Amino acid sequence: MGKATKAIEEMQDAILLSIKKLIADSESVKVIKCRVTEVIDSNKYKVFNNGSIYTVKARWTYNINDIVYVMVLPNNYNDMFIIY
C-alpha cells in the first residue's frame, strides 16, 4: 500500500500543479494590489507590483505611495485601470 499511496500522492500533486498553471494562464480578469509610484496627470498613474511598473488609468485622485487595486483585463497588461 505504501508504493500505491505514494504514487497517488504524486499524481495528485501533478494534477494540482496543472490546475494552478491553467488558472494562472487563463483568460480571466485579474485584480492586483499595487503602490502608486508616480502621478502622470489627473487620471494617469504609474504603479508598482511584484517588481514591475505599469501605467494605469483612474477616475479618482491618488497620491504617491497610495495602495490601490488595479484591474487587468484578460492577459492585457497594456490596458489596466484602478478600481479602488
Give the model's pLDDT for residue 84.
83
Closest-CA residue to 39 (of 20, 58, 21, 16)? 58
Whether residue 16 lies inside any domain: the answer is no
The pLDDT value given to residue 1: 57
Instruction: Give whole-number Cα distances, 61 to 11, 51, 68, 82, in Å.
Output: 50, 24, 11, 10
CATH number at residue 40: 2.40.50.140
State the amino acid at position 19 in one-letter form: I
**Number of domains present in the structure of the chain:** 1
pLDDT digits (tens, 9 = 90+) for 11-47: 888 888 887 776 676 677 888 999 999 999 989 999 9
Identify the domain containing residue 65 by its residue range. Answer: 30-82
Asked if residue 68 belongs to a domain, the reply is yes
Is residue 40 included in any domain, yes or no? Answer: yes
Whether the Cβ atoms of residue 38 and residue 52 lie closer than 8 Å to each other = no
Give me the pLDDT at residue 5, please.
84
pTM of the model: 0.67
